[in-house]
Chain A
Amino acid sequence: MTTKVSAQNIYKIFGPNPEKVFKLLDKGLTKDEILRKTGHTLGVIDASFDVEEGEIFVIMGLSGSGKSTLIRCVNRLIEPTRGKMFIDGEDILKVDNKQLRHIRRKKIGMVFQRFALFPHRTIIRNVEYGLEVQGIPVDERHRRSMEALELVGLADYAESYPHNLSGGMQQRVGLARALANDPDILLMDEAFSALDPLIRKEMQDELLDLQSKMKKTILFITHDLDEALKIGDRIAVMKDGVIVQIGTPEDILTNPANDYVSEFVQDVDRSKVLSASNIMKKPEVIFTKDGPHVALRKMKEMGLSSIFVVDKQRELRGLVTVDSLINNRKNLEKKDLNELIQTDIPTTSPDTPVRDLFGVAAEARYPIAVVDERHHLLGIVARVNILAAMSGEEVS
Chain B
Amino acid sequence: MNLYDMTFRIPVGQAFSTLVELLDKRLESVFDFITYFLNTAVKGLEDALQMIPIPVMIILLVLLAWRISGRGVAVFTLVGFILIAGMDLWVETMQTLSLVFISAIITLGVGIPLGIWASRSDLLDKLLRPVLDFMQTLPAFVYLIPAILFFHIGRVPGVISTVIFAMPPAIRLTNLGIRQVPADVVEAAHAFGSTDNQLLVKVQLPMALPTIMAGINQTIMLSLSMVVIASMVGAPGLGKEVLYGVTQLDIATGFEGGLAVVLVAMFLDRVTESLGKGNQDNKNNQ
Binding site for B on A (CB under 8 A): 75, 77, 101-105, 108-110, 112-114, 116-122, 129-130, 132-134, 159-161, 163, 177, 181, 187
Interface pair B286/A110, CB less than 8 Å apart: no
Candidate in A104, A122, A160, A163 with the most chain B CB atoms within 10 angstroms: A104
* Chain A at the B interface: SS class: loop
Chain B hits for A110, CB < 8 A = 188, 191-192
Q: Is B139 an interface residue (CB 8 A)?
A: no
Count contacts on B: residues with CB < 8 A to the other chain: 21
Chain B hits for A77, CB < 8 A = 187, 190-191
Interface pair B191/A104, CB less than 8 Å apart: yes
Q: A77-B187, A114-B184, A129-B202 are in contact. Are A120 and B283 (CB under 8 A)?
A: yes
- A177–B184 Cα distance when bound, in Å, is 15
Chain B hits for A130, CB < 8 A = 192-193
Candidate in B182, B191, B203, B206 with the most chain A CB atoms within 10 angstroms: B191
12 more CB-based (< 8 A) A-B contacts, given A104-B190, A129-B189: A101-B193, A101-B194, A101-B195, A104-B193, A105-B193, A112-B184, A116-B188, A117-B188, A120-B206, A130-B192, A160-B286, A161-B286
Interface pair A133/B184, CB less than 8 Å apart: no
Q: Is B207 an interface residue (CB 8 A)?
A: yes
- Closest A residue to B203 by CB, please name it: A118
Kindly identify, within residues 172 to 206 of chain B, every residue whose CB is under 8 Å from any CB belonging to chain A.
182, 184-185, 187-195, 198, 202-203, 206
Q: Which of A104, A113, A160 contacts B192 (CB 8 A)?
A: A104
* Chain B at the A interface: SS class: helix
Interface pair B190/A122, CB less than 8 Å apart: no
How many interface contacts (CB-CB < 8 Å) are there between A and B? 71
Q: Which of B192, B207, B286 contacts A105 (CB 8 A)?
A: B192
- Closest A residue to B186 by CB, please name it: A116
Interface pair B193/A116, CB less than 8 Å apart: no
- A77–B209 Cα distance when bound, in Å, is 26
- A71–B190 Cα distance when bound, in Å, is 14
Chain B hits for A119, CB < 8 A = 185, 207, 283
- A113–B185 Cα distance when bound, in Å, is 11
Interface pair A133/B190, CB less than 8 Å apart: no
Kindly identify, within residues 208 to 236 of chain B, every residue whose CB is under 8 Å from any CB belonging to chain A.
209
Chain A hits for B185, CB < 8 A = 116-119
Cross-chain pairs A/B with CB under 8 angstroms, 16 sampled: A75-B191, A77-B190, A103-B193, A109-B192, A116-B184, A116-B188, A118-B185, A119-B207, A120-B207, A121-B206, A122-B286, A129-B192, A129-B202, A130-B192, A133-B198, A134-B193
Interface pair A133/B192, CB less than 8 Å apart: yes
- A75–B194 Cα distance when bound, in Å, is 13
Candidate in B188, B190, B195, B284 with the most chain A CB atoms within 10 angstroms: B188
A376 to chain B, nearest CB (A): 46
A70 to chain B, nearest CB (A): 15
Kindly identify, within residues 39 to 60 of chain B, every residue whose CB is under 8 Å from any CB belonging to chain A.
none
- A161–B187 Cα distance when bound, in Å, is 20
- Closest B residue to A130 by CB, please name it: B192
- Closest B residue to A114 by CB, please name it: B184
- Closest A residue to B199 by CB, please name it: A133
